[in-house]
Amino acid sequence: DAKTTQPNSMESNEEEPVHLPCNHSTISGTDYIHWYRQLPSQGPEYVIHGLTSNVNNRMASLAIAEDRKSSTLILHRATLRDAAVYYCILRTPMFSGGYNKLIFGAGTRLAVHP
Amino acid sequence: SAVISQKPSRDICQRGTSLTIQCQVDSQVTMMFWYRQQPGQSLTLIATANQGSEATYESGFVIDKFPISRPNLTFSTLTVSNMSPEDSSIYLCSVGGGTGNQPQHFGDGTRLSIL
């Protein structure tokens, strides 16, 4: 499976934007970039995904580099509730059909300060 | 998105016993997954459970230790057998993600402690 690299931890202040980076230099043309987050004592929560173009939804924005070897999850105004572990994961198509299972790395632990 | 309910939400068990965790989804889904999250760690996939077929286990996980049932498109169970303290973890059920363009959804997990 294509691998992603994320910083272990990041910090932000409340109401400031947060840019969470992810490197995926071995990404292939059909790999989707997915982001999930896990709040304390909860299961992972889907945040956003994209293939080539930048994406926006109510939770966040996903900026994908032109060469697709990196991406950035953008939280426009961090709140205390955004303190979580954020996972960047690649979904790769399989020869047998479908896409690979969701495999989690260590992620980035985001701390948000009041 | 699918709503996933797991039972029990937490339990404390004696070593050597077995516990069955239930996962109920509010809609029919083809693919269901079971994950384990050990204390302070990320999630590890245990197995994939598709209705009508045997579960497919990841490396390091075996059916004798983690038998899985998938009787219909909305329900699955994971049994943790002959438990030891090393099995103390959060066990999570997940559905979806059949294509690269579909997200997976997770329950809040079953927090299991073995004494």
Q: State residue A1's pLDDT score.
A: 57
How far B24 CA lies from chain A's nearest CA (Å)?
A: 15
* Chain B partners within 8 Å of A36 (Cβ): 104
CB contact under 8 A, B43 and A42: no
CB contact under 8 A, B45 and A92: no
Pairs of CB atoms within 8 A across A/B: 59
Tokens of A15: 């109401």
Q: Is B76 in contact with B70 (CB distance < 8 Å)?
A: yes
B67 φ, ψ (degrees, to nearest 5): -65, 140
Rounded Cα distance, B94 and B88, in Å? 19
Q: State residue A95's pLDDT score.
A: 66
CB contact under 8 A, B107 and A43: yes
Per-residue pLDDT of chain A (114 residues; tens, 9 = 90+): 568 999 999 999 999 999 999 999 999 888 999 999 999 999 999 999 999 999 999 999 999 999 999 999 999 999 999 999 999 999 887 766 666 778 899 999 999 999
Rounded Cα distance, B29 and B103, in Å? 13
CB contact under 8 A, B100 and A93: yes
Residues linked to residue B10 through DSSP beta bridges, in sequence order: B111
CB contact under 8 A, B100 and A32: yes
Q: Which of A36, A43, A93 sits opposite B108 (nearest CB)?
A: A43
Which of B35, B77, B61, B12 minimizes the C-alpha distance to A38? B35
Q: What is the pLDDT averaged over residues B18-39?
A: 95
Rounded Cα distance, B30 and B11, in Å? 28
Please indicate if any CB of chain A lies within 8 Å of the CB of B21: no
Which of B40, B13, B59, B36 minimizes the C-alpha distance to B106? B36
CB contact under 8 A, B99 and A98: yes
Q: State residue B45's pLDDT score.
A: 94
Rounded Cα distance, A4 and B28, in Å? 32
Classify strands B31-37 and A9-13 as parallel, antiparallel or unpaired. Answer: unpaired
Please indicate if any CB of chain A lies within 8 Å of the CB of B101: yes
H/E stretch holding B24:
strand B19-25
Which residue of B lies nearest to A92 if distances are taken between CA atoms? B100
Q: Is A90 in contact with A1 (CB distance < 8 Å)?
A: yes
Q: Which of A42, A87, A91 sits opposite B100 (nearest CB)?
A: A91
Cβ atoms within 10 Å of B24's Cβ, excluding its own: 15
Which of B35, B18, B31, B51 minimizes the C-alpha distance to B89? B35
Q: State residue B58's pLDDT score.
A: 93
pLDDT surpassing 60 at residue B44: yes
| Centroid of chain to Cα B67 | 10
A81 φ, ψ (degrees, to nearest 5): -70, -15
